């Protein structure tokens, strides 16, 4: 107990950025925060367009951040990043299963004693959570240990997390309770309303997260024991199940037929470039799967209205931030892929973020934001310190002044990374071009960058197979034309008037920083390469005075081998290159992060 009190004391001293004042009956004036976190919701297949109540209550009253990204496109690693403010290479929670991921890995890494709910409590907030927290958080390990930092909680638990009609919830310190036969999102909604009422009555500003599993696949049940290989064999994913009242909706809805929908030519790298074209039978199934996802989101849409209505009735809607987002994106039929995530394509990493709240303008924003930015954002709203070394992001700009400044000053990059395999969801496996059927995509480990500037939009990746991808999304939004040159005989492509051969070493040097960055260097990676501070963007780095410097860089991003998790010995070179201002403009030195 003395140790626990000591930890709390340290947290209050280190994190609280304001002098505590007595709470009034309706809090101390600081804003409440409500997060609605869906599971596997796409942006690029237009799922948000099928949610009229989200539009009515949040989109039409707030800002839609069109360039918001997850850094790791799978549930548990992305959620750990969200709640710790750290990239997956800094949490080392990189999978949904042990030994590389899941709730047990989160605990072993020490984050149950050092994460957002504890920081917010130290800043004087009441904290509440209901729904899915992490994978491998089960009816067996729910109290060993219990997730810390929540004033009150009601968690969905494996192996029933993804069973829409057989959910198990676990309230505070009470044993799990089965809700067999009830619709999971409806059960969750009632629990959310109860926790919201607790927050209103707490006399403090509050933080509430509501995390439905929709539109994730239905899984009967989710494997929680054995090796990852056993889990892959035992996992049975089908289309999500909607509430009965929504099953008739959208009878004509189909996956949008855009340029990368089941393309004529294969693309990508590693196992993806070997995929066979989808058959008509598979496409029809995938359209049905897509329609089921839209139907499953309708109960979430109703939940959004229920939350907003209760905030309004309590007289606190004007002083509450509502964040609507998801853990990762999703693809169906793009790049010949069956339903799933885990890839670096835009469908998987570019995700919804919509914010309504005090001072938030109405409209869309093109500034670049990421899941690592959300914890610092919540801390800033709470009046707590947010710019400390353990955080890999920076606050999302929330008012007109901040958004305007962000156009000129905010970072333009996102770190993207993944380890392990890619799993197809639904009844169809991956079909390869040689006729083989495989249960998963192997060697799905990669490091990547997403860079979005005023007049450029790029994706650059290095796979554990040491294959490379470079896509110019300004001219190729479907990411079909890999412009990474592999042959000297290929005609030189130019970018912003610069040959791609000069662009690539700049991108690679930047990726060398972001793939292992920590804290400030994740937000300002160019400051590692150009410590004087005169280069802050890719366009700045393309200045011809740096041509000799970048041409002289010998170390590049590469892997020693493909791994299922983050094993640094297999991650290749780690040291960034540094440009030193001086007598020579191309003096090179290696420097650590």
The pLDDT assigned to 112 comes to 98
Distance CA 36, CA 128 (A): 12
From 415, 391, 317, select the one nearest 358 (Cα to Cα).
317
Three-state SS letters, 420-473: CCECCCCCCCEEECCCCEECCECCCCEEEEEEEECCEEEEEEEECCCCEEEEEC
Element (H, E) at 219: strand 218-219
Distance CA 367, CA 414 (A): 11
- With tokens 């969200």, the residue in question is 82
Distance CA 431, CA 438 (A): 7
Say how many Å lie between the first and final Cα of the chain, rounded. 37
Note the pTM of the prediction, 2 decimals. 0.93
* List of residues 6+ apart from 190 with CB closer than 8 A: none
The pLDDT assigned to 287 comes to 98
The pLDDT assigned to 8 comes to 38
Give the count of beta carbons closer than 10 Å to the beta carbon of residue 279. Answer: 12
Would residue 75 show up in a list of annotated catalytic residues for this protein? Answer: yes
Distance CA 445, CA 73 (A): 12
Task: Tell me the two tokens of residue 545.
Answer: 């005075």
Helices (H), 454-591: 500-514, 520-523, 526-529, 538-541, 547-551
Pairing of strands 498-499, 494-495: antiparallel
* List of residues 6+ apart from 248 with CB closer than 8 A: none
Catalytic-role residue among 70, 75, 464, 562: 75
pLDDT lower than 50: segments of the chain? 1-26, 583, 585-593
The pLDDT assigned to 1 comes to 37
Distance CA 192, CA 194 (A): 5
Distance CA 399, CA 404 (A): 9
From 43, 36, 35, select the one nearest 348 (Cα to Cα).
43
Distance CA 183, CA 302 (A): 13
Q: 3-class SS at 127?
A: strand
What is the sign of the dihedral through the CA atoms of 38, 114, 140 and 168? negative
């Amino acid at each position: 107990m003395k140790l626990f009190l000591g930890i709390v004391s340290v947290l209050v001293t280190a994190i609280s950025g304001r002098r505590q004042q007595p709470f009034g009956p309706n809090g101390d004036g600081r804003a409440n925060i409500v997060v609605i976190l869906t599971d596997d919701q796409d942006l690029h297949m237009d799922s948000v367009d099928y949610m009229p109540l989200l539009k009515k209550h949040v989109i039409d009253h707030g800002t839609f951040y069109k360039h918001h990204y997850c850094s790791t496109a799978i549930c548990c690693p992305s959620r750990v990043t969200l709640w710790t403010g750290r990239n997956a290479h800094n949490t080392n929670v990189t999978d949904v299963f042990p030994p590389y991921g899941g709730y047990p890995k989160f605990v072993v890494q020490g984050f149950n004693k050092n994460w957002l709910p504890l920081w917010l409590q130290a800043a004087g907030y009441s904290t509440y959570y209901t729904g899915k927290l992490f994978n491998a958080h089960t009816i067996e390990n729910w109290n060993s240990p219990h997730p810390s930092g929540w004033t009150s909680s009601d968690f969905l638990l494996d192996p029933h997390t993804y069973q829409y009609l057989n959910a198990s919830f676990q309230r505070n310190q009470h044993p799990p309770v089965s809700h067999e036969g009830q619709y999971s999102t409806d059960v969750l909604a009632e629990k959310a309303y109860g926790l919201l009422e607790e927050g209103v009555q707490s006399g403090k500003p509050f933080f509430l997260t509501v995390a439905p599993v929709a539109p994730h696949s239905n899984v009967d049940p989710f494997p929680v024991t054995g090796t990852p290989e056993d889990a892959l064999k035992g996992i049975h994913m089908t289309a999500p199940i909607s509430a009965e009242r929504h099953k008739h909706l959208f009878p004509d809805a189909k996956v949008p037929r855009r340029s990368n929908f089941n393309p004529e030519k294969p693309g990508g790298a590693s196992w993806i470039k070997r995929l066979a074209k989808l058959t008509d039978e598979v496409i029809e199934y995938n359209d049905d799967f897509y329609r089921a996802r839209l139907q499953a989101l309708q109960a979430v849409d109703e939940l959004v209205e229920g939350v907003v209505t209760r905030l309004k009735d309590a007289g606190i809607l004007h002083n509450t931030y509502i964040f609507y987002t998801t853990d990762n994106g999703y693809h169906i039929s793009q790049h010949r892929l069956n339903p799933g995530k885990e890839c670096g394509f835009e469908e998987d990493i570019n995700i919804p973020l919509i914010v309504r709240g005090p001072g938030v303008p109405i409209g869309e924003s093109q500034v670049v934001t990421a899941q690592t930015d959300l914890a610092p954002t919540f801390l800033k709203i709470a009046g707590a310190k947010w710019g400390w070394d353990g955080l890999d992001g920076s606050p999302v700009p929330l008012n007109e002044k901040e958004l305007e400044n962000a156009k000129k000053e905010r970072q333009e990059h996102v770190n993207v990374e993944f380890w392990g395999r890619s799993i197809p969801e639904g009844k169809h496996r991956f079909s390869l071009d040689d006729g083989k059927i495989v249960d998963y995509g192997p060697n799905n480990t990669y490091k990547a960058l997403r860079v979005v500037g005023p007049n450029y939009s790029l994706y650059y990746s290095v796979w554990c197979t040491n294959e490379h991808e470079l896509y110019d999304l300004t001219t190729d939004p479907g990411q079909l034309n890999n412009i990474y040159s592999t042959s000297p005989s290929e005609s030189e492509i130019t970018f912003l008037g610069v040959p791609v051969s000069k662009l690539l070493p700049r991108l690679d040097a930047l990726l060398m920083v972001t793939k292992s960055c920590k804290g400030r260097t994740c937000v300002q990676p160019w400051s590692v390469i150009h410590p004087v501070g005169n280069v802050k963007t890719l366009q700045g780095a393309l200045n011809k005075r740096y041509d000799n410097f970048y041409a002289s860089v010998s170390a590049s991003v590469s892997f020693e081998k493909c791994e299922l998790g983050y094993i640094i010995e297999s991650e290749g070179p780690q040291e960034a290159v540094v440009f030193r201002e001086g007598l020579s403009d191309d003096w090179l030195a290696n420097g650590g992060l």
